[in-house]
Structure 1
Amino acid sequence: MTTEPSQAMRPARAAQLQSIQALRAIAALLVVFGHAAHESETIAERIGLAPLHTSFLHSGGGVDIFFVISGFIMVHTSAGLFGQPGAWRTFLTRRIVRIVPLYWLLTSLLLIGSLFLPQLLNVPIGDWRHILASYLFLPSLRGGYEIRPVMALGWTLNLEMLFYLLFAAAMLLPLRRGMFALSCVLVALALIGAAFQPSQVQLAFWTQAIILEFLFGCLLALLYRQGFRLPAVAAAASVTLGLAALLKWPGVDDPSWLPQVLRLGLPAALIVGGAALYDGAAPRLVLPLAVVGDASYSLYLFHPFALRPLRDVWVRVVGTNLPLEVYMVVAVAVATLSAMLLYRLVERPLTIWFKRPSHRDGDTHRSIYPAA
């Protein structure tokens, strides 16, 4: 039985959630930047310009931030449900309602588009088994060499769904025992992957060490629940250090030999920890970012639909008339604005419509994407 937060605690909690929403925006924008940079390379090759140097940033770190946020939010919003009858069912229903409709809609749109504009695809669509696996969030080989669904970005959702299932199972126990069991399972999976390096597709995918990033977020949420807070200086230092670790510094060797969970996962944990555990009001910069964060799931999933046509339009219409730096700004802006429209016109109405039967339960969960 949980108690309602006091009036004094509610503003702090609201500020903390705004900070998390702002981080969702930053994480999604990092991913968009990385993919826009990739498209700029294609543009440069087609029109004969020198490519941009965007390798200074580990833009893929946005995914790691999403995974840590996911672990944090799941514990933060569901801690009071642990050990309650039927809680696991309520949790999974909320997650499915929140994640599946938009993903299935865009996957279907991609499949239809591939029939008419196959040239926009980097990798051809697989057979019916691969398509079915994509809809069911099951890891499957795409193109015979990479474990990706029809929508390549959906690989993160395949890991998310595994985490949700494990989290739901942990909810059968009281919070402490459930979180201990969840921690043991996640660590065991990562150790199996590191020790045996399985070749079976699903097992290889589900035993990646990156799954430990969900655990990082869970542990941060437990610290938050215990009342642990960071003063402004410590919180700012944590976020700054984490962001600095996502940059590639001149003269400093890139530790590519480290597994991603250490190379990018730990910086992501520092960033999320600094924002989530900060003991104070959210900075003003957080507010506009939080608005983008609301649409971060749409932004994560939809931005390739915006970037790929924009690339071809840019080659045909703009060409060498404007530098590629302008393309990068336009690409990020177009992806962001289109995603915010998609959120308002499609994602949000879909979510409201699908959750109506269980509306009496309420829904404090918010998307983690994207993500997460």
Structure 2
Amino acid sequence: MRFYRKILESEDAGRAASKSTHTLVNLQVLRALAASSVVVAHALHETGTLAVATGRAVVDGSAWNLGFGVDIFFVLSGFIMTHTTASEFGKSGASLRFFLRRCARVIPLYWLLTSVMLLGALAAPSLLAVPIGSLSHVLASYFFIPSGRGVDEIRPVLALGWTLNYEMLFYVFFAAALLLPIRLGILWLSVLMVGMALVGRLIDPQHVQIAFWTNPIILEFLFGVYVALIFRSGARIGGGWALGLVAIGLLGFVHVSTLWNDAALPQFLRSGVPAALFVLAAAIGPMLPQRRPVLWGVALGDASYSLYLVHPFVLRPLRAIWEKVIGAELPLGLFVVFATLVAAMFAKALFRYVERPLTSRVQGLALRSPRSKQTAAAPLSRADTESA
């Protein structure tokens, strides 16, 4: 409970504080859910190798779309960026301050873990499923430029960083939108992103970067922008309606039929719309009860960026240990549970002792001006600090 009280004390007084606190709790739990689903998906993938080595049955996760967590992250990003900067549109210097905040938030841990990956590749290249690639690919990875890796795969050195390539593209567009008053800025952002998505659907770009950046998945950020506008309009719903939205949103987690999969529907519809419903329910629905599972969810939500980026460094060694120590003694479903819990604990430690102090240090250097410090105190500022 002390952790929860700390959250409450960090918010401004009055109605704005109430809105921010309630939204922060719900969104942090949702962020924990999103990161955990990605971890479970990759843990399930590791059971394929373990099944061959141990003779145990592989855990079949084909009925679940556990990569859905990425779609939730994209919608959350659009929501938080819009809500935390709504009062900054059209203000002098707001665009630069926003972009510096986001770079200070995203880059330090990503660069650190990318460097760890490179050092690991130099020390033991045989452990890598896909070679690191050329120097140009390495540089592109550090600077969030899509680059080919292997056969028909556009991923950076730290493979999960492909989502950050989309995040940084959105930050650039959003920073430009902040140059305008909010209505014009949102309109400009909408036209630009819809236009790019249409280009990606109507033509077949041969250029790697254009093909990547025009993927309609970028519209998921836009969904989050409009969810934030709904939230800021004052719209609120009761628990029953919120549960209804969540129930429909659960369609994003399952493969219902051949008519509801990524082959029949583009991802921004198949997964992006359900993700937007999850975020909408979290934003305008009632606050989750102040019980221990919720507090654990908030704590894991704080560490969700660490969890998302670091869990591959945890799962692979755990797979090797499980193979040597446990072998065929236990069903592989227990490996998924065990690996997910260990990854969560490791991520919490990384967040506390590395990510948070490192990010705080870089943000202090990037946002030295008094005006920048004042802007950082906007509603949901902690959510902005913890988001990725």
**TM-score when scaled to structure 1?**
0.94
1:187 corresponds, among 194, 200, 206, to 194
Distance 1:286 1:241 in 2: 22
Q: CA contact under 8 A between 1:66 and 1:369: conserved in structure 2?
A: no
- After TM superposition, list the pairs within 5 Å mapping 1:1-372 onto structure 2: 7-249=14-256, 254-255=260-261, 256-278=263-285, 280-284=286-290, 285-357=293-365, 358=367, 360=370, 361-362=372-373, 363=376, 365=381, 372=388
Structure 1 counterpart of 2:134, one-letter code? D
Q: CA contact under 8 A between 2:84 and 2:384: conserved in structure 1?
A: no
Structure 2 counterpart of 1:293, one-letter code? G
**For 1:20-55, what per-residue CA distance to the aligned partner results, in whole angstroms no more than 9, with x for missing partners?**
111110000000000000001111112222211212
Distance 1:368 1:310 in 2: 32
Distance 2:78 2:121 in 1: 34
**For 1:112-164, what per-residue CA distance to the aligned partner results, in whole angstroms no more than 9, with x for missing partners?**
00112223222110010000000010000001421100011000000000000
Cα deviation, residue 326, structure 1: 1.0
Cα deviation, residue 253, structure 1: 5.5
Q: CA contact under 8 A between 2:197 and 2:216: conserved in structure 1?
A: yes
Distance 1:123 1:367 in 2: 35
Distance 2:139 2:195 in 1: 29
Q: CA contact under 8 A between 1:140 and 1:147: conserved in structure 2?
A: yes
Distance 2:59 2:247 in 1: 25
- Structure 1 window deviating more from structure 2 (141-150 vs 354-363): it is 354-363
2:7 aligns to what? none
Equivalences, count: 367
Distance 1:110 1:47 in 2: 28
Distance 1:289 1:309 in 2: 25
Identify unmatched segments of 5+ residues in structure 1: none
Cα deviation, residue 310, structure 1: 0.7
Q: Residues 368 and 66 (structure 1 numbering): CA distance in 2 closer, same or farther, change over 3 Å? A: farther
Q: CA contact under 8 A between 1:298 and 1:369: conserved in structure 2?
A: no
**For 1:271-297, what per-residue CA distance to the aligned partner results, in whole angstroms no more than 9, with x for missing partners?**
11111111x332234322011000000
Distance 2:46 2:132 in 1: 20
Cα deviation, residue 371, structure 1: 5.2
Runs of 4+ in 1 over 6 A off after TM superposition: 367-370
Structure 2 counterpart of 1:326, one-letter code? L
Structure 2 counterpart of 1:337, one-letter code? M
Distance 1:254 1:313 in 2: 38
Q: Residues 330 and 308 (structure 1 numbering): CA distance in 2 closer, same or farther, change over 3 Å? A: same
Cα deviation, residue 241, structure 1: 1.6
Distance 2:178 2:125 in 1: 44
2:8 aligns to what? none
Cα deviation, residue 12, structure 1: 3.0
Once the two structures are aligned, what percentage of the paired residues are identical?
49
**TM-score when scaled to structure 2?**
0.91
Distance 1:159 1:366 in 2: 22
Distance 1:326 1:302 in 2: 21
Q: CA contact under 8 A between 1:16 and 1:282: conserved in structure 2?
A: no
Structure 1 counterpart of 2:277, one-letter code? L
Over the aligned positions, Cα root-mean-square deviation in angstroms equals 1.8
Identify unmatched segments of 5+ residues in structure 2: 1-10
Cα deviation, residue 15, structure 1: 1.1
**For 1:256-275, what per-residue CA distance to the aligned partner results, in whole angstroms no more than 9, with x for missing partners?**
31100000111101111111
SS in 1 for 2:14: coil
Q: Residues 182 and 254 (structure 1 numbering): CA distance in 2 closer, same or farther, change over 3 Å? A: closer
Q: Residues 94 and 142 (structure 1 numbering): CA distance in 2 closer, same or farther, change over 3 Å? A: same
